[in-house]
Amino acid sequence: MLERIGANVALRRKKLGLTQERLAALADLDLRFVQRVERARTNLSVAVLVGLADALEIELEALLRPAVLPPAVVGRPPKQQRRRRG
């Protein structure tokens, strides 16, 4: 269940164009707590769920629906090749 909630929080946050910092401020939570929620590394109270749903402008039940995040891309993006003028 925590994986579903974390995935739904992250997906909705990204859809709204919010940073984790901004979501934390809107939900009156600590940034590290929001990060742990998105990684499914912490238990949540009903009050926290309601606060997240309000901050994300969705119904509470939407956080409980099945969802899966795409795999995270780790590392820096590759450098782009410079075109030579000549």
Looking up residue 54, the CATH number of its domain turns out to be: 1.10.260.40
CA distance 69 to 6: 9
Which sign does the torsion angle of CA 46, 15, 10, 27 carry? negative
Q: Where are the alpha helices (DSSP H) in the chain?
A: 2-15, 20-27, 31-38, 46-55
User: What pLDDT, in 10s, does the model give residues 3-43?
Assistant: 999 999 999 999 999 999 999 999 999 999 999 999 999 99
pTM: 0.78
Please give the Cα distance from 74 to 71 (Å, whole number): 9
Q: Is residue 38 part of a domain?
A: yes
Of all residues in the chain, the percent with pLDDT exceeding 70 is: 95
40 falls within a domain: yes
Average pLDDT for 49-57: 95
Q: How many structural domains compose the chain?
A: 1
